[in-house]
Structure 1
Amino acid sequence: MNNSKIIRIGFLIFPGFPMACLTSIIEPFRAANEIADRAVFDWHVLSETGARIVSSARVVFEPDGSMADADGLDMLFVLGAPTSAFEDPRHGHGALRRLDRHGVILGAISGGVFPLVRAGVMEGHSCSVHWCYEAAFRTAFPDIRMTDDVITRDRRRYTVSGAASAFDLALQLIEDRLGPDMAHEVACWFQHPTMRGDGVRQRIPMSPGAGPDLPDLVAHAAALFADHIEHPISVADVARIVDVTPRQVERAFKKATGQSPTHYYRGMRMKAARQLVLYSKQNMQSIAQAVGYTSPTPLVAHYRDAFGVSPQEDRKRINSFRVQGNVPLPPA
Structure 2
Amino acid sequence: MRTKKLNNSEITAVGFLIFPGFPMSCLTSIIEPLRAANEIAERETFSWQLISETGSKVTSSAGVIFEPDVALSAKLDPAMIFLLSGPLSEFEAPRASNSVLRKLERTGAVLGGISGGVFPLVKSGVMEGYKCSVHWCYEAAFKSEFPEMLASGEVIVTDRRRYTASGAAAAFDLALQLIEERLGPDIALEVACWFQHPMMRGEGVEQRVPLKPSTDPALPDLVGRAVEMFVERLDEPRSVGDIAKALGVTPRQVERAFKKATGQSPSHYFRALRMNAARQLVLYSKDSMAQVAAAVGFSTTTPFVNHYRDAFGVTPKQDRGRINAFRVQGNMPLPST
Would you call these one fold, judging by a TM-score over 0.5? Answer: yes
CA shift at 1:77, angstroms? 0.5
1:56 aligns to 2:61 (yes or no): yes
Counterpart amino acid of 1:318?
I
- Name which of 103, 106, 117 aligns with 1:98: 103
Contact 1:211/1:256, CA 8 A, preserved across alignment: no
CA contact (8 A) 2:241 2:251 kept: yes
- What do residues 160-181 of structure 1 show as CA deviations (whole Å, max 9, x unaligned)? 1111111111111111111111
User: What are the equivalent positions in structure 2 for 1:1-332 lying under 5 Å apart?
Assistant: 4-69=9-74, 71-205=76-210, 213-323=218-328
**1:83-135 alpha-carbon deviations (Å, 9 max, x no partner):** 10000001111111011001100000111100101101110001111111111
Aligned letter for 1:180? P
Given the superposition, is the C-alpha separation of residues 52 and 215 from structure 1 closer, same or farther in structure 2, using an over 3 Å criterion? farther
Q: What 5-or-longer segments of structure 1 have no aligned partner? A: 326-332
Aligned with 1:230: secondary structure?
coil
Q: Distance in 2 between matches of 1:276 and 1:106?
A: 26
Deviations 1:226-282 (A, max 9, x none): 212111012222233333333333333334333332222111211221122122222
Return closer, same or farther for 1:317/1:245 CA change in 2, 3 Å cut-off: same
For 2:100 and 2:20, the matched residues in 1 are separated by 18
How far 1:211 sits from its partner (Å)? 7.1
Q: Which amino acid letter does the alignment assign opposite residue 33 of structure 1?
A: N
Does the CA contact (< 8 Å) of 2:73 and 2:97 recur in 1? Answer: no
Letter in 1 for 2:66: F
Q: Tell me the distance in 1 between the aligned counterparts of 2:253 and 2:198.
A: 37
TM-score if structure 1 supplies the norm length?
0.92
Deviation at 1:70, TM superposition (A): 5.9
Separation (CA, whole Å) in 2 of partners of 1:30 and 1:225: 46
Deviation at 1:159, TM superposition (A): 0.7
| Aligned partner letter, 1:243 | G
Which amino acid letter does the alignment assign opposite residue 159 of structure 2? D
Amino acid at match of 2:200: M
| Shift in Å, 1:188 | 1.1
- Gaps of at least 5 residues in structure 2 are 331-337
1:52-104: CA deviation from partner (whole Å, max 9, x where unpaired): 11111111111111113461100001010111000000111111101100110
> Contact 2:211 / 2:273 at 8 angstroms: preserved in 1?
no
Between the two proteins, the alignment pairs up a number of residues equal to 324
**2:100 partner SS:** helix
In the alignment, residue 220 of structure 1 is paired with which amino acid?
A: R
> Residues of 2 paired with 1:67 and 1:248: CA distance?
59
Q: Which amino acid aligns with 2:127?
A: M
**Cα RMSD (Å):** 2.1
Shift of 1:17: 0.8
One-letter amino acid matched to 1:147: S
- Cα 1:226–1:70 change in 2 (3 A) is farther
Identity %: 63
Q: Matched residues in 2 for 1:207 and 1:82: separation?
A: 21
Structure ranking higher on relative contact order (CA contacts 8 Å, 6+ apart)? 2
Q: Which amino acid aligns with 1:130?
A: H
Amino acid of the residue matched to residue 311 of structure 1?
Answer: P
Cα deviation for residue 151 of structure 1 reads 0.8
Kindly provide the amino acid, as one letter, of the partner of residue 118 in structure 1: K
- Contact kept, 8 Å, 1:207 with 1:257, in 2: the verdict is no
Alpha-carbon distance between aligned partners in 2 of 1:21 and 1:256, rounded to the nearest angstrom: 36
Alpha-carbon distance change, 27 to 248 in structure 1, aligned in 2, over 3 angstroms: farther
Classify 1:66/1:254 alpha carbon distance in 2 versus 1 (closer, same or farther; 3 Å).
farther
CA 259–162 in structure 1, closer or farther in 2 if over 3 Å, else same: farther
